[in-house]
């Protein structure tokens, strides 16, 4: 076992582009473009994909969409709906914790 | 190493059709989906289910696994015989992409050999993903955490093995829940001299006894005496980055939020810190305390069920 010290870079300070996102999610560029154009990824997109930049949230969402589509053969819209619901669930969980409450 | 019965994991017969395997997988994927599952160890069960499906949904891997597993039972001690996979050609991915990095040693032992085959072209290594649990104080001050990861590596004989690799990660100040931090070149090694991939860590916070976090904003309860709330007072409050004197406005009630601008998680746009007031009554245990409460009851003519502007 080895231990080395490494600086971690906050992703939102160094946004990633189409190439990196596609490589990271193990999908093609076309997959990313299809999902952005379907409105399930990246809120406000420039018409030119080479100018897109993705945040932490986009990265996690893209990976989540991939998982749902692969596991359930879902189409982008259905996977997008599941991702929306899970994000809403998480938002409500955070709100409950803020009020000192927890879901059972 | 223990033998894994992938059929048992998915709850299907050895003769199950591809369609039956897919159905069983989807049913379990829904049952153990970590975001919503109420099952114990849902995340670990989901990894087992994914691994079983990765093998049984791939005709080549399934055929090889069936040949090897004939007469074996889950949990029994197991070593694959040398060249057990002779005659099989696994054309699919090695199984370490996407969710595959979480697969077991058993899986790596069986299906790892292909990694070295045909890797004569130059290719960048895969990026890896993991979650990291931090304390809120790390977000305020930065900090370091040792992260231990299971990393697939190709040995000199071209065989894929899974090793544990520890990294001491310096956490940048200002991270918050759900953000991702990246460690360059700490993913899988590249093939044919290609660049290694990166490691992405998804940030989550350990629950804190005093603070609740929402994005960059931080919430804490500030307990005040009835006279501090009623008359106003300056009280000392502990924050994650030190103590501060806070002015409690006159006429405050339980639930009132006092905002300390920019004292949440520090960042380019720092969050705010909210102190939520909780008025705590002194106990009426002594004659003097009882006398004071009785005097208030007598002289204030206060009915908490009929306060102007209150909903109940």
Give tens-digit pLDDT for A10-36.
887 778 899 999 988 989 999 999 999
> Is the predicted pLDDT of residue B101 greater than 80, yes or no?
no
Choosing among B26, B182, B204, B265, which should be mutated to test the A contact, i.e. which has the most A CBs within 10 A? B182
- Banded model confidence at residue B157, pLDDT cuts 50, 70, 90: low
Smallest Cα distance from A10 to chain B, Å: 4
- Pick from A6, A8, A81 the residue to mutate for testing the B interface (most B CBs within 10 Å): A8
Nearest CB to A8 within list B99, B177, B181: B181
Short-list B197, B177, B181, CA closest to B145: B181
Query: In the predicted model, is pLDDT for residue B87 greater than 70?
Result: no
pLDDT at position B124: 82
Structurally, at CATH architecture level, domain B211-306 sits in: Sandwich (2.60)
Question: Which pLDDT band holds residue B298 (cuts at 50, 70, 90)?
Answer: very high
C-alpha span between B41 and A90 (Å, rounded): 19
Indicate whether B93 pLDDT > 90. no
Note whether A26 contacts B126, CB cutoff 8 Å: yes
Q: Among A31-35, B10-14, B98-102, B193-197, name the one with the lowest average pLDDT.
A: B98-102
Going by pLDDT thresholds of 50, 70 and 90, the confidence category of residue B293 is very high
| Residue B81 or residue A19, greater confidence | A19
Contact B248, B258 (CB under 8 A): yes
DSSP helix/strand/coil, B153: strand
**Poorest-confidence range of A63-67, B33-37, B115-119?**
B115-119
Query: Which candidate from B148, B180, B214 shows the least CB-CB separation from A11?
Result: B180
Higher pLDDT, A66 or A5: A66
Query: Between B99, B165, B170, which is nearest A8 by CB?
Result: B170
**Which among B99, B174, B179 has CB closest to A11?**
B179
Percent of chain B at pLDDT exceeding 90: 47
Q: Do A10 and B179 make contact, defined as CB atoms within 8 angstroms? A: yes
CATH second-level architecture of B124-206? Answer: Sandwich (2.60)
Domain ranges of chain B: 1-111, 124-206, 211-306
Quick one: CA dihedral B94, B100, B104, B105, positive or negative?
Answer: positive
Say yes or no: do domains B1-111 and B124-206 share a fold.
Answer: no
Is the pLDDT confidence value at A4 over 80?
Answer: no
Arithmetic mean of pLDDT, A36-56: 89
pLDDT of B97 over the 50 cut = no
Taking an 8 Å cut-off on Cβ atoms, the answer to whether A4 and B214 are in contact is: no
* pLDDT of B284 strictly over 90: yes
Spatial CB neighbours of B176, under 8 Å, sequence gap ≥ 6? B139, B203, B213, B215, B216, B265, B267, B271
A27 contacts chain B (CB < 8 A): no
Q: Does domain B1-111 have CATH number 1.10.287.110?
A: yes
State the Cα–Cα distance between residues B205 and B198, nearest whole angstrom: 22
Q: Say which CATH architecture domain A11-98 belongs to.
A: Orthogonal Bundle (1.10)
Q: Which of B12-16, B72-76, B79-83 has the lowest mean pLDDT?
A: B79-83
Residue B100, pLDDT above cutoff 70: no
**How much is the average pLDDT of B204-228?**
94
The 10s digit of each residue's pLDDT in B58-79 is: 888 898 888 888 877 777 777 7
**Distance of alpha carbon B157 from alpha carbon B115, whole angstroms:** 10
What is this model's ipTM?
Answer: 0.83
Which residue from A minimizes the CA distance to B187? A24
What residues of chain A lie within 8 A of the CB of B174, using their CB?
10
Nearest CA in chain A to B166: A3
Taking only Cα atoms into account, the Rg of chain B, rounded to an integer number of angstroms, comes to 29
More confident residue, A99 or B93: A99
Candidates B209, B35, B4, B215; CA nearest to A83 is B35
pLDDT digits (tens, 9 = 90+) for B220-236: 999 999 999 999 999 99
Contact A6 B183 (CB under 8 A): yes
B201 with A59: Cβ contact below 8 A:
no
A57 vs B: CB within 8 A: yes
- The fraction of chain B above a pLDDT of 70, given in percent, is 85
Residue (of B267, B285, B264) closest to B275 by Cα position: B264
**What's the pLDDT at B35?**
80
Nearest CA in chain B to A62: B98
* Closest alpha carbon within chain A to B28: A71
């Amino acid at each position: 076992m080895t231990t080395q010290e490494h600086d971690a870079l906050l992703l939102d300070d160094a946004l990633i582009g189409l190439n990196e996102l596609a490589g990271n999610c193990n999908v093609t560029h076309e997959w990313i473009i299809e999902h952005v154009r379907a409105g399930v990824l990246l809120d406000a997109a420039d018409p030119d994909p080479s100018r897109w930049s993705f945040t932490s949230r986009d990265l996690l969402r893209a990976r989540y969409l991939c998982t749902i589509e692969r596991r359930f053969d879902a189409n982008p819209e259905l996977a997008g709906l599941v991702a929306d619901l899970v994000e809403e669930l998480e938002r409500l969980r955070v709100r409950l914790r803020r009020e000192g409450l927890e879901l059972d | 190493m223990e033998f894994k019965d992938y059929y048992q994991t998915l709850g299907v017969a050895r003769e199950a059709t591809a369609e039956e395997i897919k159905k069983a997988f989807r049913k379990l994927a829904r049952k153990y989906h970590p975001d919503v599952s109420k099952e114990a160890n849902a995340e670990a069960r989901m990894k087992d289910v994914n691994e079983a499906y990765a093998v049984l949904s791939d005709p080549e891997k399934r055929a090889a696994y069936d040949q090897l597993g004939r007469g074996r039972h889950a949990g029994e001690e197991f070593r694959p015989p040398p060249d057990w996979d002779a005659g099989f050609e696994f054309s699919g991915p090695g199984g370490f992409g996407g969710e595959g990095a979480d697969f077991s040693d058993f899986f790596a032992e069986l299906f790892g050999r292909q990694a070295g085959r045909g890797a004569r072209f130059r290719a960048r290594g895969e990026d890896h993903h993991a979650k990291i649990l931090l304390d809120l104080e790390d977000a305020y001050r930065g900090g370091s955490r040792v992260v231990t990861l299971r990393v697939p590596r190709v040995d000199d004989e071209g065989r894929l093995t899974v090793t544990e690799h520890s990294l001491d990660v310096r956490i940048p100040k200002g991270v918050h829940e759900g953000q991702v931090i990246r460690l360059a070149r700490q993913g899988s090694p590249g093939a044919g001299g290609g660049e290694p991939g990166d490691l992405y860590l998804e940030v989550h916070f350990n629950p804190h006894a005093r603070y609740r976090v929402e994005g960059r904003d931080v919430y804490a309860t500030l307990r005040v005496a009835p006279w501090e709330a009623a008359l106003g007072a300056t009280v000392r409050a502990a924050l994650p980055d030190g103590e501060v004197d806070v002015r409690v406005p006159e006429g405050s009630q339980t639930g009132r939020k006092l905002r300390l601008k920019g004292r949440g998680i520090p960042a380019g746009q720092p969050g705010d810190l909210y102190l939520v007031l909780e008025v705590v009554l002194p106990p009426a245990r002594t004659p003097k305390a009882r006398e004071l409460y009785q005097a208030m009851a007598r002289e204030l003519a206060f009915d908490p069920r009929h306060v102007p502007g209150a909903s109940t």
